[in-house]
Chain A
């Protein structure tokens, strides 16, 4: 059954292409080249874009995505959120969020703000400022790339290694693009 669902998801190949062409490269300040994807995962639907309340994007404002939690991001110069999700053949999900701030300093300040990247995070051996969180069964990572605060999440910590590898790939891709 899961495989049938997966095959159905793969019918959205054009959407996947859009994701590759627009979202990840945009995260990494590049254009037109393919970005990394978590191994064995395929994007779900099209990425959603949210803006500040006064400048809503296609999916609305940040409050449409995370309700009142968005206020803190606005304090850090929030400009745009791109939200994407990936599913594997077993139906396991990876959440990818890119919060673009006005400046790299603000992105780093957001990472340092416990109202965003909460207490209990540990710095991981990644080539970017980051915090990783193991709150079973959740596992998530915040990391900063330029003006962007990237958030990666799985609700099954058995996938922690997959998420770590995805983070490493994103950082490597960013450096290549640079």
Chain B
């Protein structure tokens, strides 16, 4: 009996040693950090942004995300180098209510980027130049200053079926979506949906009916490998389709799905206040996680840092 107990103890000892070894050799996967930063002074109730306060919001959020003390160091942490060309994909929403990123926010982002790269190596783009103009941006395809352009003039890559801004010109990408609730099957129009505007125009409608196709856009090599920052602009957002509120914040992270889920969480907080049912996890986001490994939707694997200025 004693002999049996001793051998059992031995097995247990070996088993626990093995577990300890595994714990050492296989550390828990790092969580995806997401910064949710708000500044009520950044925007008023008439959708007018304050340039200085918006810049403060962006700058603080970037430092909080990277743990650095300067913008230059923060961008370098994210992988930006002085010879990079950075493409910033925005989503200019002007139908029905304006949900485009505020020009003040773009100015803050571009000014921060210029701590590392020259202005002309920054390209802010959407699929239609007219959409940028309607959102208050001034088109610029010249050799000086930040470039603002549509995809119309650059052509498309035949293999990846994406704008050449993404496949050829840019070496780094920032995905800048708007805090937009879509309800229905799509649930929300955020980071994954944003790159629809990088596609060849004839492929765009597929995203409306094919969740797998939509999920796979951000998995295309040029987008997946070059993206250094995912951001949701939410000075003004919608928590129900076309119903706006002034959240007065931005959401930043390197994991697109963690940022996407955090943005949906922000909408759900507002929906709870307004006694509206919460939004579910969109099907295309689940596919992006399970099939394309674009990030995590697991709340346990997302570290949210909340910053209230």
Co-complex (A, B): yes
What is A's interface to B at a CB cutoff of 8 Å? 53, 61, 63, 65-72, 114-115, 118-120, 135-138, 140, 151, 153, 155
Find residues 209-267 in chain B having any chain A CB closer than 8 Å to their own CB.
209, 240-244
For A118, the chain B residues whose CB sits under 8 A away are 240-243
Find residues 116-162 in chain B having any chain A CB closer than 8 Å to their own CB.
none
Verify B182–A69 contact, CB threshold 8 A.
yes
B132 to chain A, nearest CB (A): 15
Contact with A along B81-101 (1 / 0, CB 8 A): 000000000000001111000
Chain B: which residue is nearest A71 at the CB level? Answer: B208
CA distance A63 to B193 in the complex (A): 14
Interface on chain A toward B: helix, strand, loop, or mixed SS?
A: mixed
Verify B96–A153 contact, CB threshold 8 A.
yes
CA distance A118 to B183 in the complex (A): 11
For A61, the chain B residues whose CB sits under 8 A away are 205
Verify B46–A53 contact, CB threshold 8 A.
no
CA distance A60 to B244 in the complex (A): 28
Interface presence of B111 (CB below 8 A)? no
CA distance A151 to B97 in the complex (A): 12
Given contacts A61-B205, A138-B98, A155-B98, contact A67 B242 (CB under 8 A): no
Interface on chain B toward A: helix, strand, loop, or mixed SS?
A: loop
Contact of A63 among B97, B182, B189, B208 (CB under 8 A): B208
For A120, the chain B residues whose CB sits under 8 A away are 243
Chain B: which residue is nearest A142 at the CB level? Answer: B96
Verify A65–B95 contact, CB threshold 8 A.
yes
Q: How many A-B residue pairs have CB under 8 A?
A: 57
Chain A: which residue is nearest B197 at the CB level? Answer: A67
For B185, the chain A residues whose CB sits under 8 A away are 71
For B46, the chain A residues whose CB sits under 8 A away are 136-137
Given contacts A115-B241, A118-B242, 14 further A-B contacts (CB under 8 A): A63-B204, A63-B205, A63-B208, A67-B208, A68-B186, A68-B207, A71-B184, A115-B183, A118-B241, A119-B276, A135-B244, A140-B96, A140-B97, A153-B96
For A138, the chain B residues whose CB sits under 8 A away are 96-98, 244
Verify A115–B184 contact, CB threshold 8 A.
yes
Contact of A68 among B193, B242, B243 (CB under 8 A): B193
Interface presence of B113 (CB below 8 A)? no
Given contacts A115-B184, A118-B241, contact A68 B189 (CB under 8 A): yes
For B183, the chain A residues whose CB sits under 8 A away are 114-115
CA distance A114 to B274 in the complex (A): 15
For B204, the chain A residues whose CB sits under 8 A away are 63, 67
A67 to chain B, nearest CB (A): 7
CA distance A140 to B242 in the complex (A): 11
Interface presence of B55 (CB below 8 A)? no
B150 to chain A, nearest CB (A): 13
Verify A72–B205 contact, CB threshold 8 A.
no
